[in-house]
């Protein structure tokens, strides 16, 4: 049912107040296709909403919010190397990961406990503890929300990059042009554990588990996340608020010369990624609040709404931190969530 003047406060994990002129929960691909024929909605601005866990609502939205709630998960085939598993875009991401592990299909365990939906995972190419979802995606189906036509994208078509994909690069996500309806994953039959990420390795060490299986890795990842990342149910947040900045080799050398303890992750192209959380902490913002918003005391990269925050409160804090980190380190911090 098409709802008017819909309150989005409970539909974004930062709990920012904003209203949508129109709101529709979409439970099937057919519903989305039919929408394209609805003349009363022609030309209307759209936004495709998943779990709302990577979203900053900067104000009311004068168009149509499509909340994708398409269910379903199944194994669609296998070959010598992979199981192919498909899921509806509306499935909860963590429930889906746990289900694959229960079925005996490893490969997504490092991405356990990430909030959000299956359909949102490819948009920003979610990543954690040494794995990006791009590494496990075979392809996906999206629908053009204006024409109802399907788009089938292979992994290469998705143009995955760090926290990015064709959906962000081409603006299809922000202008609601495409809605992902199903994602197909290629899960490896010859599975090898990815346990090199320092915090995950330390957690497995503490558990005295030198040869973990995929479910045990998921448990260790979940424990690390629960320890460090605030639960949106009690501390509304959108995960990492900034991307980890990548700088050229010259700038990286300058930064590490100033402080050799600065975490640095050399990239294939010679550039170097640094940890935004470290920069924010060193600039003195960890655990610090400005009004009702602040950076979490255990992970400086996570901005928390401590109650009653509005978009302007977030803007004031993020601009202050961006300016301070720029002044102290000469590094630009770019927000990681989608700003609507």
The Cα 53–Cα 88 span in angstroms is 18
Residue 199 found at the interface with ligand EPU (CB under 6 A): yes
Assess contact for 310 and 327: CB atoms under 8 A.
no
Backbone angles phi, psi at 269, to 5 degrees: -85, 10
Catalytic residue, from 11, 98, 136, 163: name it. 163
Query: Do residues 81 and 190 lie in contact, with contact meaning Cβ atoms separated by under 8 Å?
Result: yes
Shorter beta-carbon distance to ligand EPU: residue 35 or 217:
217
Q: Single out the segment in contact with ligand EPU by CB under 6 A; choices: 81-89, 135-143, 272-280, 305-313.
A: 272-280
Q: Does 125 bind ligand EPU (CB under 6 A)?
A: no
128 binds ligand EPU (CB under 6 A): yes
Q: Which tokens hold the place of 94?
A: 């963590």
- State yes or no: residue 263 binds ligand EPU (CB under 6 A): yes
Q: Is 281 in the site for ligand EPU (CB under 6 A)?
A: yes
225 is catalytic: no
Considering only the stretches 146-154, 178-186, 275-283, 326-334, report the one whose residues sit in contact with ligand EPU under the rule CB under 6 A: 275-283
Q: In what order do the strands lie in the sheet with 246-247?
A: 246-247, 272-274, 264-266
- Interface with ligand EPU includes 243 (CB under 6 A)? yes
How many Cβ atoms are within 10 Å of 96's Cβ, its own excluded? Answer: 21
* Closest CB to ligand EPU among residues 222, 301: 301
53 is catalytic: no
CB 56 within 8 A of CB 238: yes
Binding flag, residue 286, ligand EPU (CB under 6 A): yes
Question: What per-residue string of b and e applies to 188-211 under the rule 16 or more CB within 10 Å gives b?
Answer: eeeeebebebeebeebbeeeeeee
**Is 11 one of the annotated active-site residues of the chain?**
no
At its nearest, how many Å lie between ligand EPU and the CB of residue 189? Answer: 25
Which residue is associated with the tokens 């746990």? 98
3-state secondary structure of 303: strand
Asked if 50 is part of the footprint of ligand EPU (rule: CB under 6 A), the reply reads: no
SS3 228: helix
| Shortest Å, Cβ 227 to ligand EPU | 11
237 binds ligand EPU, rule: CB under 6 A: no
Residues that bind ligand EPU (CB under 6 A): 128-129, 199, 239-240, 243-244, 263, 275, 277-278, 281, 286, 299-301, 336
Q: Which residues are catalytic?
A: 163, 240, 336
């Amino acid at each position: 049912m098409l709802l008017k003047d819909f309150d989005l406060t409970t539909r974004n994990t930062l709990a920012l107040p904003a209203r949508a002129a129109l709101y529709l929960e979409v439970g099937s691909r057919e519903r989305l296709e039919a929408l394209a024929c609805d003349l009363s909605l022609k030309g209307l601005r759209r936004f495709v909403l998943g779990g709302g866990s990577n979203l900053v609502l900067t104000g009311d939205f004068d168009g149509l919010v499509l909340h994708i709630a398409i269910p379903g998960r199944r194994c669609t085939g296998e070959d010598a190397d992979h199981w192919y598993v498909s899921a509806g875009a509306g499935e909860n991401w963590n429930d889906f990961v746990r289900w694959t592990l229960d079925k005996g299909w490893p490969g997504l365990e490092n991405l356990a406990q990430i909030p959000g939906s299956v359909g949102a995972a490819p948009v920003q190419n979610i990543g954690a503890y040494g794995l990006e979802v791009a590494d496990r995606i075979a392809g996906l189906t999206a629908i053009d929300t204006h024409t109802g036509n399907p788009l089938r994208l292979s992994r290469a078509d998705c143009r995955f990059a760090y926290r990015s994909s064709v959906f962000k690069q081409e603006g299809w996500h922000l202008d609601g042009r495409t809605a992902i309806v199903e994602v197909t994953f290629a899960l490896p039959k010859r599975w090898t554990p990815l346990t090199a990420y320092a915090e995950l390795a330390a957690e497995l060490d503490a558990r005295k588990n030198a040869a973990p299986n995929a479910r045990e890795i998921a448990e260790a990842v979940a424990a690390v996340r629960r320890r460090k990342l605030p639960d949106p149910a009690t501390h509304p947040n959108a995960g990492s608020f900034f991307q980890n900045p990548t700088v050229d080799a010259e700038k990286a050398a300058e930064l590490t010369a100033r402080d050799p303890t600065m975490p640095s992750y050399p990239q294939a192209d010679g550039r170097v990624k640094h940890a935004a959380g470290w920069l924010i902490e060193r600039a003195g913002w960890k655990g610090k609040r400005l009004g009702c918003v602040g950076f979490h005391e255990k992970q400086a990269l996570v901005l928390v709404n401590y109650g009653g925050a509005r978009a302007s409160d977030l803007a004031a804090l993020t601009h202050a931190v961006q300016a301070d980190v720029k002044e102290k380190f000469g590094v630009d911090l770019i927000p990681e969530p989608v700003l609507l």
